[in-house]
């Protein structure tokens, strides 16, 4: 079988689904790798690097397994034929996704978002690998927008107090944000509605903010809050947020609009020069004053809502994603190296969002 690495066409998408480092492992499994010319260009990987690793440059779109990062556009879906396999982010919970079109086209598509959060699937968990990148970068964005230092400084010209950073929503991105802010010398605090997160927050040297709401849902995710819980949470956070120089928000509930954690009043209560980085912009934002994709200043507080932060670090984001994709491809092969996905495997059963008649 062949694996096709195609060039991403979404605006600002700089990642590539497979880096040259993974090519020898695929070849070792008996696969051929075909790369669309320029596929790695935005990640600063030249065609020559793929060739050196053993891939060929050519028509990646006709490969048996096409690997991608961003969900395919209409034009891209039109390039796929019946029976082909596609692996990538497919936004299965987004109403505007292409899963219907892929089904129509007879493509057997695997959505990396749908891989279950079980230990055996950790190695292919692209949501986690990319959330790590986003969490890290969110802190750098905050630090560069801040009018203050993150670390404590003791200098001849005086002493500077460390910045206080609050992270709201401590999943994978939030935990990485806490760890990164700590490394920059800030005083860190984390908050989440899943009580089990408290120990993880403490393990990265942060304080746990306890607001007494337990909204642990299924599969390690949070559930949506009730109206009363939401009001209680917003009020409690409004009081807490005043004490922080930086607030980073990452709170998500699968398939729902982002929970509103930071009200306009909470923003107004912050000190001038404070910064909010809202990682939930894609689903509407955790802050009431967020403008997705924009950086705005409201009440002298800078509110940034960068979209697709992982694409701003294409080298490592692609490298981590490649490992995830490789692990998933491995699972599609049987012992003889033939493409024969076993749908009694819960990982494949969940990840495969469209089946193809051709392959059954």
Task: Evaluate whether 166 touches 244 at the Cβ level (below 8 Å).
Answer: yes
Cβ closer to ligand NAD: 36 or 192? 192
Could you list the residues that contact ligand NAD (CB under 6 A)? 117-119, 121-122, 125, 127-128, 131, 168-174, 192-194, 197, 220-222, 225, 250-254, 259, 261
Strands (E), 175-333: 187-191, 207-208, 246-249, 275-278, 295-298, 301-304
Instruction: Choose, from 93, 117, 120, 202, the residue flagged as catalytic.
Output: 117
Let me know if 117 is a catalytic residue: yes
Let me know if 128 is a catalytic residue: yes
Give the containing element (helix H, strand E) for 155: strand 153-155
Let me know if 334 is a catalytic residue: no
Cβ closer to ligand NAD: 60 or 121? 121
Q: Identify the residue whose tokens are 């980073």.
A: 248
Cβ closer to ligand NAD: 47 or 125? 125
d(CA 186, CA 230): 28
Minimum distance from residue 93 beta carbon to ligand NAD (Å): 11
d(CA 20, CA 52): 8
d(CA 253, CA 229): 15
Q: Which two tokens stand for residue 48?
A: 């020559």
Instruction: Choose, from 73, 104, 122, 294, the residue flagged as catalytic.
Output: 122
Instruction: Choose, from 128, 138, 176, 356, the residue flagged as catalytic.
Output: 128
Cβ closer to ligand NAD: 127 or 275? 127
At residue 132, the 3 state secondary structure works out as helix
Minimum distance from residue 166 beta carbon to ligand NAD (Å): 11
Cβ closer to ligand NAD: 77 or 262? 262
DSSP string for 49-85: HHHHTT-EES-GGGSSEEE-SSPP-HHHHHT--TT-E
Minimum distance from residue 236 beta carbon to ligand NAD (Å): 11
Q: Which two tokens stand for residue 152?
A: 């404590």
Minimum distance from residue 231 beta carbon to ligand NAD (Å): 12
Q: Which residues pair with 298 in a beta bridge?
A: 301
The closest residue (CB) to ligand NAD is 171
Minimum distance from residue 28 beta carbon to ligand NAD (Å): 25
At residue 297, the 3 state secondary structure works out as strand
Q: Which two tokens stand for residue 195?
A: 């009580």
Instruction: Choose, from 14, 84, 85, 125, the residue flagged as catalytic.
Output: 125
Residues taking part in catalysis: 117, 122, 125, 128, 221
């Amino acid at each position: 079988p062949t694996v096709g690495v195609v060039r991403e066409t979404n605006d600002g998408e700089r990642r590539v689904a497979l880096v040259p480092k993974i090519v020898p492992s695929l070849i070792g499994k008996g696969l051929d790798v075909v790369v669309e010319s320029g596929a790695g260009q935005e990640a600063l990987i030249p065609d020559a690097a793929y060739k050196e690793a053993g891939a060929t440059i050519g028509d990646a779109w006709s490969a048996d397994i096409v690997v991608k990062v961003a969900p395919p556009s209409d034009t891209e879906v039109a390039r796929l034929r019946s029976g082909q396999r596609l692996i990538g982010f497919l936004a299965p919970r987004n109403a505007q996704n292409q899963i219907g079109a892929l089904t129509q086209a007879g493509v057997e598509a695997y959505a990396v978002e749908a891989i279950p959060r079980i230990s055996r699937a950790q190695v292919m968990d692209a949501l986690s690998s990319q959330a790590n990148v986003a969490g890290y970068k969110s802190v750098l964005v905050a630090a560069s927008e801040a009018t203050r230092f993150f670390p404590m400084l003791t200098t001849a010209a005086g002493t500077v107090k460390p910045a206080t950073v609050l992270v709201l929503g401590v999943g994978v991105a939030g935990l990485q944000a806490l760890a990164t802010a700590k490394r920059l010398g800030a005083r860190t605090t984390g908050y989440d509605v899943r009580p089990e997160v408290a120990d993880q927050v403490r393990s990265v040297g942060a304080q746990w903010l306890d607001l007494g709401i337990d909204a642990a849902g299924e599969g390690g995710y949070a559930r949506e809050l009730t109206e009363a819980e939401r009001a209680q949470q917003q009020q409690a956070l409004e009081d807490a947020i005043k004490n922080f120089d930086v607030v980073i928000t990452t709170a998500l509930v699968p398939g729902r609009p982002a929970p509103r954690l930071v009200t306009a009043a909470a923003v107004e209560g912050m000190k001038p020069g404070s910064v909010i980085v809202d990682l939930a912009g894609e689903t509407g934002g955790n802050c009431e004053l967020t403008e997705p994709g924009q950086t705005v200043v409201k009440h002298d507080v800078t509110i940034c809502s960068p979209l697709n932060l992982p694409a701003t670090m294409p080298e490592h984001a692609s490298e981590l994603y490649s490992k995830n994709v490789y692990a998933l491809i491995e699972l599609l092969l049987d012992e003889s190296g033939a493409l024969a996905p076993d749908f009694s495997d819960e990982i494949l059963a969940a990840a495969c969002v469209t089946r193809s008649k051709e392959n059954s």
